[in-house]
Chains A and B, each alone.
Chain A
Amino acid sequence: MSVAAVSKSPLADGEIQLSVKGVSKRFGGVRAVDSIDLDVRKGEILSVIGPNGAGKTSLLNMISGFYQPDTGSVTFEGHNITNARPSQIATYGVARTFQNIALFRGMTVLDNLMLGRHVHMKAGVLSSFIYWGLAQKEEIRNRARVEEIIDFLKLQDLRKQPTGSLAYGLQKRVELGRALALDPKVLLLDEPMGGMNQDEKEDMARYILDVNEEWGVTVVLIEHDMGVVMDISDEVVVLEQGRRIAGGTPDAVQRNPEVIRAYLGTSKSKGAV
């Protein structure tokens, strides 16, 4: 697998790459996210866990620009991206997948990945009116990269299939592929294993580890399967009702009494895995 195609980050492994400071978001009277801090180090797999409604997806939405935080700031490799547009943030090298798959269902697997590649097409808006010449050369170069990703995710036989017709687990894999096509520095994955059976989960966990180890992509993961989370994460952050209640290595988090309370529940809490 070629490693060279992945975007270069100016940071060394272990330096803080993505920093969320005091971010809050309310929806009406609901405090979906309440003054959360989060530092993501380059090269790590960081999992965000918590009961339903803890604010995990809202946090991801604020990092990727789909929501504007009410307070606080988000910094990525020195860029302040707090109020940046999703397309801008994608250009910086932050890719994401959605809990409810957001593929282009009428298009083939190949077309989906090619569109994911679009930020790397440099031919401008005007020249892209013309498919020939520069734009076409670019198309060929990008196509090669997309084929690498297709091979990596073992999607070779499906490349001409409309994604809407694929099984759920495969759609999740294609969505990962489209995010990878961006050559991201950070990958935000929102429940990439939701709704999968055990085999599919293991495959997906393998792909995530490979992306992280071989390509050096930092991963921020939201996942409900504790086995997977504790297995593959370098760091785990726990949210409950919009607040950060714990963070650290998987071992430390598992022993944290606050976390045990939130998950196993005392008489007054509702949480369950």
Chain B
Amino acid sequence: MRKQRVTQQAIVFAIFVVLFAIFALFLPGFFSAPNMLALLQNVAFLGILGLGMALVVISRGIDISMIAALAVPPGLVLQMVQNGYGPTISVVAAFALVIVFGLVNGWLVAYAEVPSLFTTLASGLFLAGLGQVAFFQLDVVQWPAALDGLGWFGRGGILGVPMPVVMFGIAAAIVALFLRQTRIGAYIYALGDNPFGARTTGIPTRPIILLQYVLAALIAAFAGFVMAASINSMPTRVFNSTMIYDVILVVVLGGIGLSGGRGGVPNVIIGTLLIGTMLNGMTILDFSYSAQNLVKGVVLLVAILADSFLNPRNEETAQQGDI
């Protein structure tokens, strides 16, 4: 099983290399410095979101509400500062919103036992709607000058590496450490591998699920804040885009099985590189928005199909709960 996972990673990485090489050779402007910079920037937000999604998917959940958590809390910070509140109180308010949002998601999944897909579908819609109705005056909230002290989150770079990419790197390192070096990380894998086994060994499964959704929401809001700093505004309608599909694509294509317990941060990085390259290439090729969606849809379907072949839900865990 471990061997299989390595092959899947290797295959996806090979596809990335081939795709990248083809684009670089035959696509004018692809391998230019400005385009590489743009590619990396776009990929960075997707990658950070992918880390949060991975945390949830590893224990068999999914968080469709991540784009709402990306847009609304950072948007709230910008809006509050525009309206004359201090940066600190604005950040604290947004932080509280994220935590409450994550707790509600996690509570519904862990304690009310609503399937994560439906929970986060509804809660994302709610949060996005709340933002539009109660918080934002315009669809695009501009970055206020009073908040420029925090602009470094997404602007400039270190040694030529754009700041969003640096942030992705930092987030990836923290999540990797969390998953692989802490006991809670091991519990998350255990929970995804076999929920019954996890409960019988005395692992408090529900608090861990709760924690996962809080972390996913925090990571999404972090991605949103970096994004807002980098593009100098928060386009709050991003919730209505197809971005969540890109995130799922990153995670599934990278090799984090939807059946749980498998994959980690390296998978997110590989998935991010491939999807980033694909999206960028299609944009240069001047694919229409709809044509891009068509391609993404097909790739996602193929990836999910491949995932259910490579990582089948095994019989032992499927048929538990017998009399």
A residues adjacent to B (C-beta < 8 A):
27, 32, 53, 55, 57-58, 64, 66, 85-87, 90-91, 95-96, 98-107, 111, 114-116, 118-119, 121, 123, 125, 128-131, 135, 162, 164-165, 178-179, 182
8 closest residue pairs by CB, A with B: A90-B202, A102-B197, A104-B193, A128-B183, A86-B199, A119-B202, A102-B196, A131-B181
Task: For the complex, give the distance between the alpha carbons of A58 and B2 in Å.
Answer: 34
The residues of A that contact B322 with a CB separation of less than 8 Å are: 57, 99-100
Contact flag A27-B323 (CB < 8 Å), given A107-B193, A128-B184, A135-B183: yes
Q: Whole-angstrom distance from the CB of A234 to the nearest CB of chain B? A: 25
Contact flag A104-B197 (CB < 8 Å), given A87-B205, A135-B183: yes
**Smallest Cβ-Cβ distance to A95: which chain B residue:** B200
The residues of B that contact A55 with a CB separation of less than 8 Å are: 323
- B320–A106 touching, CB < 8 Å: no
- A125–B262 touching, CB < 8 Å: no
- A165–B182 touching, CB < 8 Å: no
Task: For the complex, give the distance between the alpha carbons of A106 and B314 in Å.
Answer: 11
Produce 1/0 per residue, B303-323, CB < 8 A to A. Answer: 000000000001111011111
Contact flag A102-B2 (CB < 8 Å), given A128-B184, A129-B178: no
Produce 1/0 per residue, B192-209, CB < 8 A to A. Answer: 011011111111110000
The residues of A that contact B320 with a CB separation of less than 8 Å are: 98, 100, 102
The residues of A that contact B181 with a CB separation of less than 8 Å are: 131
Q: Does B190 contact A (CB under 8 A)?
A: yes
Partner of B200, one of A27, A98, A100, A105: A98
The residues of A that contact B321 with a CB separation of less than 8 Å are: 66
Task: For the complex, give the distance between the alpha carbons of A121 and B203 in Å.
Answer: 11
Q: Does B73 contact A (CB under 8 A)?
A: no
Partner of A32, one of B178, B193, B316, B323: B323
| Highest count of chain A CB atoms <10 Å: which of B187, B193, B200 | B200
**Smallest Cβ-Cβ distance to B197: which chain A residue:** A102
Q: Whole-angstrom distance from the CB of A250 to the nearest CB of chain B? A: 25
- B203–A115 touching, CB < 8 Å: yes
- B319–A100 touching, CB < 8 Å: yes
Task: For the complex, give the distance between the alpha carbons of A139 and B204 in Å.
Answer: 19
The residues of A that contact B316 with a CB separation of less than 8 Å are: 100-103, 105
Produce 1/0 per residue, B245-262, CB < 8 A to A. Answer: 000000000000000011
The residues of A that contact B1 with a CB separation of less than 8 Å are: 105-106, 162, 164-165
Task: For the complex, give the distance between the alpha carbons of A101 and B315 in Å.
Answer: 10
B residues adjacent to A (C-beta < 8 A):
1-2, 178, 181-184, 186-187, 189-190, 193-194, 196-205, 261-262, 314-317, 319-323
- B189–A125 touching, CB < 8 Å: no
Task: For the complex, give the distance between the alpha carbons of A86 and B321 in Å.
Answer: 14
Task: For the complex, give the distance between the alpha carbons of A53 and B322 in Å.
Answer: 10
Contact flag A96-B186 (CB < 8 Å), given A27-B323, A53-B323, A102-B320: no
The residues of A that contact B183 with a CB separation of less than 8 Å are: 118, 121, 123, 128, 131, 135
Partner of B203, one of A87, A101, A107, A164: A87
- A182–B261 touching, CB < 8 Å: no
**Smallest Cβ-Cβ distance to A56: which chain B residue:** B323
The residues of B that contact A164 with a CB separation of less than 8 Å are: 1, 314
Task: For the complex, give the distance between the alpha carbons of A273 and B283 in Å.
Answer: 68
Contact flag A118-B193 (CB < 8 Å), given A106-B261, A130-B182: no
Contact flag A115-B319 (CB < 8 Å), given A87-B199, A103-B197, A178-B201: no
- B182–A91 touching, CB < 8 Å: no
- A111–B196 touching, CB < 8 Å: no
**Smallest Cβ-Cβ distance to A91: which chain B residue:** B202
Task: For the complex, give the distance between the alpha carbons of A90 and B204 in Å.
Answer: 10
Task: For the complex, give the distance between the alpha carbons of A249 and B194 in Å.
Answer: 37
- B204–A105 touching, CB < 8 Å: no
- B314–A105 touching, CB < 8 Å: yes
Task: For the complex, give the distance between the alpha carbons of A66 and B323 in Å.
Answer: 11
Q: List 5 A-B contacts (CB under 8 A).
A: A86-B202, A91-B202, A102-B196, A131-B182, A162-B1
| Highest count of chain A CB atoms <10 Å: which of B183, B193, B196, B321 | B183
